[in-house]
Structure 1
Amino acid sequence: MRDKRKKFVELAEARVNRAIKDVRLIGNLANKNSYDYTDDDARKIFRALQKEIEAAKARFMGDAGGRDSDFRLED
């Protein structure tokens, strides 16, 4: 049982730190001097991120739920 805990901690720390880094990189996209985006684009980004956070949280609470396809701003 201890090995499962150790593996969980190891993977959780690595994955959460990677996610935090990636969220910070998404924040860098807010630089209007480098990028052109609309308020609607920003809303879509944060709606998609929030949806995935909620789905991950639900899985920890015992609700497996389904998975959607990859995020796309434009079709």
Structure 2
Amino acid sequence: MRNKPDDRRDNVDRIQFNIDKTIQNCELADEMIAKTSDENMKQTLEEKNNRRESALKNMKEEIKDEAIDKENGYR
């Protein structure tokens, strides 16, 4: 059985989609934080947003690398 070849052609688009959805989730969580009076819920959402911010930073670095590789023909 042979492994599938590594197909990275859609990585930039896929990562950009993930970045967009993560930003959207952060914004929705911020709206919920503003609306809720439940301190536990606020804390949970703030913690999630902190993790999302960290993930966004990593995804932005990854998309830069993938864009460079794409320009270079994935050599």
Q: TM-score range by the shorter chain?
A: 0.3 to 0.5
User: TM-score w.r.t. structure 1 length?
Assistant: 0.47
Structure (1 or 2) with the greater helix fraction = 2
